[in-house]
Amino acid sequence: MSKYHLHKIRVRYGETDQMGFVYYGNYSLYLEEARTEMLRSRGFSYKALEESGIWMPVVKLEINYKKPAVYDELIAIKTKIEGNIDRKICFSSEVLNEKEVLLCTAKVHLVFLKHPEGKIVTCPSSIRDLLEVYQ
């Protein structure tokens, strides 16, 4: 992956299942944290976006699990923008362990929604300009 944002998370005990692996549903939380920190790294926040009347709901999530992450492991999430940013945005991620073994790949698709009307709108240019570095 080129032009990606890197975010690291240490797996907590409560995020694992009976087998000692990260519970599959927790990966979506990791991906959300990585997206949020990607925006924050560019000087923007989801909170500011929502306060401006734009919401970004997830409309599609694709995860391909390869190997499990385990308790106390430091995982790295590499995230970039796939395709064009218009009325929707696709965050493409790779999750790796400390040995740089690929644990999973994911794509999270979101749309830009004007609140409270609920109408899908074009991405504000201020956000597009900030995130172009990750395309």
Q: Where are the domains of the chain?
A: 5-134
Catalytic residues: 17
Give the Cα separation of 26 and 11 in Å (integer). 10
Q: What is the pTM of this model?
A: 0.93
Q: 94 burial class (0-12, 13-18, 19+ CB within 10 angstroms)?
A: middle
* DSSP category for residue 16: B
At 2, the pLDDT band (50, 70, 90 cuts) reads low
Lookup: tokens for 100: 């740089």
The percentage of the chain sitting over the pLDDT mark of 70, rounded to a whole number, equals: 99
CATH of domain 5-134: 3.10.129.10
Give the Cα separation of 133 and 3 in Å (integer). 7
Whether 119 shows a pLDDT value over 50: the answer reads: yes
Between the two ends of the chain, the Cα-to-Cα distance in Å is 10
